[in-house]
Amino acid sequence: MGATGSGKSRLAIDLATRFQTEIINSDKIQVYKGLDVLTNKVTPQECRGVPHHLLGVFDSEAGNLTTTNFCRLASQEISTLSANNKLPIVAGGSNSYIEALANHSSGFLLNKYQCCFIWVDVSLPVLNSFVSKRVDRMMDAGLLEEVREVHDPKADYSVGIRRAIGVPELHEYLCYESLVDRATQRKMLDAAVKKIKENTEILACRQLLKIQRLSKKWKLSMHRVDATEVFLKRNEEEADEAWENLVARPTKRIVDKFCDN
Ligand code: ATP
């Protein structure tokens, strides 16, 4: 678990590599096909060969993947992995999905399996500055063109992938870009990018509050790992080293201990 941008996908891949297992995605937007840049899905290169389930597989036009359906599908994946003697790793920022899964119907996860919750925490001001730069990188990587492809003035923004931060924010720009001059276009686009950054910061803050609540609820099985230092390093090499020492290795020890019990 962790707020957007905290590094939970990377940690899940580190753990899956170490424990030779697979990952079940629990991000309620990344479950849908499309908008890979905007929703920050892991790339094949980042996956390092680790299979991911429920990631980018649902057609958004078919409607929302309800929490109940997510729980049913994730439970099936967990059962299959367990039956194959693999440690199921559930990774993603949607706390409503995770909370429902842990308490699913007859207390599915918490009664049937022992759970080890890992929370990758990053100080909010540090995370906000990272996320703001990430939005700029997404713009360079083709965010606008991606959103243009799903843009439909008549579409319902409360359904599926169009709920992703970035789609509603670019709506006005995409409706009017062909009607205004270049300077106005630039102004409108800058305003939309600013709004995307603001809304991502709000999302991170809300996710953090929910995780704090869950950490009280699941006190005994919750492990907080502070990744803030990683984000403060000056270059990639130092950041990678800090990640290994402060996040990846300590978490592997936590999971080793969990598996030994
Ligand atoms: P809520 O009950 O508020 O929906 P949640 O825990 O179920 O909370 P979150 O993952 O916090 O779900 O997502 C809330 C909203 O944030 C989504 O509906 C979407 O608008 C946006 N969002 C979440 N994840 C992403 C993502 N990966 N990319 C873009 N937008 C996202």
Judge contact between 81 and 23, C-beta under 8 A. no
- Which CATH number among 1.10.287.890, 2.170.120.12, 3.40.50.450, 3.80.10.10 corresponds to the domain 127-197? 1.10.287.890
- For 63, other C-beta atoms within 10 Å of its C-beta total 12
User: Is the predicted pLDDT of residue 23 greater than 70, yes or no?
Assistant: yes
pTM, whole model, 2 decimals? Answer: 0.94
Closest of 20, 233, 50, 201 to residue 125, by C-alpha: 201
What pLDDT score does 62 carry?
86
Terminal Cα distance for the chain, rounded: 22
Q: Where in the chain is the domain with CATH 3.40.50.300?
A: 8-122+207-260
Q: What is the mean pLDDT of residues 247-251?
A: 98
What pLDDT score does 108 carry?
57
Q: What is the mean pLDDT of residues 140-158?
A: 93
Q: What is the mean pLDDT of residues 72-84?
A: 94
Q: Where in the chain is the domain with CATH 1.10.287.890?
A: 127-197
Q: Decide: 26 in ligand 1 pocket, CB within 6 A.
A: no
Structure tokens at 18: 């170490």
What pLDDT score does 104 carry?
65
Percent of the chain with pLDDT over 90: 86
The Cα–Cα gap between 199 and 247 comes to 27
What pLDDT score does 18 carry?
97
> Please, what is the average pLDDT of the chain?
94
What pLDDT score does 111 carry?
66
Q: What is the mean pLDDT of residues 146-151?
A: 95
Residue whose CB lies within 8 A of the most ligand 1 atoms, among 1, 6, 26, 28, for a mutation test: 28
pLDDT tens per residue, range 180-190:
999 999 999 99
Q: Decide: 203 in ligand 1 pocket, CB within 6 A.
A: yes
Who contacts 113 (Cβ-Cβ below 8 Å, separation ≥6)?
A: 78, 82
pLDDT tens per residue, range 33-64:
999 999 999 999 999 999 999 999 999 888 89
Percent of the chain with pLDDT over 70: 97
Dist. CA 107 → ligand 1 center (Å): 24
**32, amino acid identity:** Y
Q: Decide: 200 in ligand 1 pocket, CB within 6 A.
A: no
Q: Decide: 3 in ligand 1 pocket, CB within 6 A.
A: no
CATH class of segment(s) 8-122+207-260: alpha beta
pLDDT tens per residue, range 91-114:
988 889 999 998 865 555 666 788
